[in-house]
Structure 1
Amino acid sequence: MPPVPPVPRRGRPLHTVQVLGGGSACTGAHVRSLTAGLVARGVRVTVCAPAGAELAYGFSRVGAGFAPVSARTEPETLASLRAVCAGADLVHAHGLRAGLMAALALGGRRDTTPLVVTWHNRTLSQGFRARLTRLLERRVVRAARVVLGASSDLVERARRRGARDARLAPVAVPSAGRPRSFAGDYAGRDKVRAELGALGRPLVFTMGRLEPQQGHDVLLTAARAWRRLDPTPLVLVAGEGSRRAALQERIDAEELPVRLIGCVTRAVEAVRMLAAADVAVLPSRWTARSPFAQEALHAGVPLVATAVGGVPELVGDAAVLVPYGDADALAAAVGGLLADPARRAGLAARGRAQAATWPSEDGTVTHVLGVYDELAAATGEPLSEPVRV
């Protein structure tokens, strides 16, 4: 499909400002992919984000302007963001913090400069922090003209918080650097497994921040049952976080067949490890469109995941789903797959088929640009509600 040209305003191309308030690496990669696609279609794009984001994602290398701003809602930050947004036709914020920054910076100008907010993740909190989060969510979604949710439960959450227009948004995982799977390439697969110390035994792989919401304690409890399997699988956990010391202490004390390998800095290396695994595991408490789950299905690796957030609608029947926090169910699901090569092969095929139904990067850009064009063409009506602080 040929690129859809942007709607010109006042004889010039559409100018959008993308606001990124830090967020996860997945959000940053999505903004980089979106930015590249918009620039390729003739849209003028300026990215406002912490200085480190430019080093990590290279927004300027794909033709965007870049303006470093702090992730805090301080007066100086808001003044800088306000100045960048002054000439924009539309502002697109990614995440709750970025949405609040953009809403405050735009102020009353949101009547003429619409704000779009993409909600990629949920903040899992309790007590006072949960009440504060609900307040921030309400203010951000009511300030936005359109809220794009990465999963259906995020769209419903935005509507409950008072969003006037909340929609499900396609969010593709950038494919740059994705290696081919090892289907039929036993030498290549064995080479990676040898490097990981998993020759002659099954390999179970997971990747994510070592934080409570990622469910690694449940994974370790499930790993107790896998000690009885012959041969005993090796469970590799890629990632860093505040729980590393506690998890390592438990692995050592219980003599679990689990190895923490730290943060894998190069995405291509992480996907090579994943593609060499027999089973991928996603034990999270909540996730929208998990990039790890998407990469597992793209690579044809059987996936066992918790039935939370956007995971069921993402994977369909191409993965084994278990309740969050149920270590026995997780242990049985992984053990059953390791014992049944034919079932693993069937899941691998269904996974690739399911992945083929997901939006491409080009499709994601086209969808977002359609929202921009819709808002840019609208006239004669208020585009947002005021934000009070």
Structure 2
Amino acid sequence: MTGQPLAGRRIAEVLATSTGGVGTHLRSLLTPLDRAGALVRVCGPAATDELFGFSAAAAFRPVGISGGLDPVADVRAVAALARATRGADLVHAHGLRAGLVAAAARRGTRVPLVLTLHNALQPGGGLRTRVLGRLEAATVRSADLVLAASADLAENALAQGARDVRLAPVSAPPLPPPTRSRAQVRAELGLDDRRPLVVAVGRLHPQKGYDTLLAAAARWAQAPGPTPLTVVAGDGPLEAELTRRIDSERLPVRLLGRRTDVADLLAAADVAVLPSVWEARSLTAQEALRSGTPLVATRVGGVPELVGEAAELVPPGDPVALAERVTAVLTDPERTARLSAAGRAQAAGWPDEAGTAAQLVAVYRELLGAPG
């Protein structure tokens, strides 16, 4: 087909272990890149293909890039990625871990490297944090172009010496329409009409701030009136720890595991919560506002610029503020209606998947020039 901006260009998309937004975002790009004429290969852990189905839309090359520092595994991953990306015209790494391995794998070549920053390093101390900080800076400087999912990530990349940094908002793919009614979902959860439902969606990981959510739920359990049931859709490394705390403190919280019916849960929810320590352009926040579900979220990272006035924002790590704001939404029908309408209006102004993909195609074309 003539007129394709990336006709015949060989693009390698690279990601490390991902069970959430990064993999979802990358999967949404594959079909538009194919339509633009690109020959795309995805390089990442085999489990990511099983989870996101990359191989249904592109060639997939298994490369064991881990989610944490492991010098021996990293050396193997660099060698494997160098083989997997051989012959590529451009390499695009999604996330710092993927970027670190990709930068080492393409060393000695002139293949352009694009790095998308989806997340920030979490604050901490000690040798490991210092090493990670140096590796982050080196990775950012090695990229020909850094795309940042939020303004704070862009500012940090510039401060670390990145050559070219651009803001590139990540759009959440639209959820499918709900397949069950609000009443059906609530009945399956054992809820009567009076008991509120609070929904959180996201990986069971320290970044998501679920310790704060559980502390807030403990306050709801002690307050007068119907106690909200809080459900969390997601799996992850904190599952056992959170389960023990829920059981030992008899909290009104239920871990649902990884779900494919997030649209149904959000449609049935009285309020959605996002208690994260940090987020760039949260896919969960996008899904909640698009669905018209009132959202209470932490004022961190790119969340304020994403939601504007369409969500209630609280400080991170503050269970009292989170509990009080959620209660305020649950007990004020006018506020609930205002947030629902404002969320849909805010979401209407976000770039959609097509716009996100078109921006990326333009970036690739800029770096590679015209086909042929």
**Same fold, judged at TM 0.5 (above):** yes
Corresponding residue number in structure 1 for 2:187: 194
| 1:92-107 pair list within 5 angstroms | 92-107=92-107
Corresponding residue number in structure 2 for 1:114: 112
More off after superposition, 216-225 vs 70-79: 70-79
Corresponding residue number in structure 2 for 1:140: 139
Question: What do residues 326-360 of structure 1 show as CA deviations (whole Å, max 9, x unaligned)?
Answer: 11111111111111112101100110111111111
Corresponding residue number in structure 1 for 2:70: none
Instruction: State which of 41, 47, 55 in structure 1 corresponds to 2:42.
Output: 47
Distance 1:24 1:154 in 2: 21
Corresponding residue number in structure 1 for 2:69: none
Distance 1:336 1:4 in 2: 55
**One-letter amino acid matched to 1:99:** G
Pair 363,277 (structure 1): closer, same or farther in 2 beyond 3 Å: same
Are positions 1:222 and 2:216 aligned together?
A: yes
Distance 1:77 1:258 in 2: 39
| TM-score for the superposition, normalised by structure 1 | 0.87
8 A Cα contact 2:6 2:36, kept in partner: no
Are positions 1:278 and 2:270 aligned together?
A: yes
More off after superposition, 240-249 vs 220-229: 240-249
What is the Cα deviation at residue 75 of structure 1?
4.5
Pair 224,81 (structure 1): closer, same or farther in 2 beyond 3 Å: closer
**One-letter amino acid matched to 2:115:** V
What is the Cα deviation at residue 74 of structure 1?
4.4
Corresponding residue number in structure 2 for 1:387: none
Corresponding residue number in structure 2 for 1:384: none
**One-letter amino acid matched to 2:151:** S
8 A Cα contact 1:206 1:280, kept in partner: yes
**Secondary structure in structure 2 of the residue aligned to 1:365:** helix
What is the Cα deviation at residue 7 of structure 1?
4.7
**Secondary structure in structure 1 of the residue aligned to 2:102:** helix
| 1:330-345 pair list within 5 angstroms | 330-345=322-337
What is the Cα deviation at residue 174 of structure 1?
1.7
What is the Cα deviation at residue 237 of structure 1?
2.0
Instruction: State which of 170, 193, 200 in structure 2 corresponds to 1:206.
Output: 200
Instruction: State which of 176, 179, 182 in structure 1 corresponds to 2:177.
Output: 179
Q: Which runs of 4+ in 1 moved over 6 A?
A: none
Aligned length: 360
8 A Cα contact 2:290 2:347, kept in partner: yes
Corresponding residue number in structure 2 for 1:35: 30
Corresponding residue number in structure 2 for 1:385: none
More off after superposition, 232-241 vs 338-347: 232-241
Distance 1:226 1:4 in 2: 59
Pair 244,229 (structure 1): closer, same or farther in 2 beyond 3 Å: farther
Q: CA RMSD in A?
A: 2.1
Pair 276,20 (structure 1): closer, same or farther in 2 beyond 3 Å: same
Instruction: State which of 235, 241, 244 in structure 1 corresponds to 2:236.
Output: 241
| 1:11-90 pair list within 5 angstroms | 13-62=8-57, 64-71=58-65, 74-90=74-90
Instruction: State which of 341, 348, 355 in structure 2 corresponds to 1:356.
Output: 348
8 A Cα contact 1:49 1:67, kept in partner: yes
Distance 2:83 2:203 in 1: 35
Question: What do residues 233-255 of structure 1 show as CA deviations (whole Å, max 9, x unaligned)?
Answer: 11112233343344334334443
**Secondary structure in structure 2 of the residue aligned to 1:38:** helix
What is the Cα deviation at residue 83 of structure 1?
3.1
Pair 79,226 (structure 1): closer, same or farther in 2 beyond 3 Å: closer
Distance 2:51 2:241 in 1: 29
Unpaired stretches in structure 2, ≥5 consecutive residues: 67-72
Distance 1:114 1:5 in 2: 20
**One-letter amino acid matched to 1:355:** A
**Secondary structure in structure 2 of the residue aligned to 1:148:** strand
8 A Cα contact 2:20 2:202, kept in partner: no
| TM-score for the superposition, normalised by structure 2 | 0.91
Corresponding residue number in structure 2 for 1:151: 150
Are positions 1:319 and 2:317 aligned together?
A: no
What is the Cα deviation at residue 209 of structure 1?
2.5
Question: What do residues 51-72 of structure 1 show as CA deviations (whole Å, max 9, x unaligned)?
Answer: 222222222212x222111115
8 A Cα contact 1:23 1:95, kept in partner: no
Unpaired stretches in structure 1, ≥5 consecutive residues: 182-186, 379-389
**Secondary structure in structure 2 of the residue aligned to 1:136:** helix
**One-letter amino acid matched to 1:221:** A
What is the Cα deviation at residue 232 of structure 1?
1.8
**Secondary structure in structure 2 of the residue aligned to 1:107:** coil
Distance 1:121 1:77 in 2: 21
Distance 1:54 1:237 in 2: 24
Percent identity reads 52
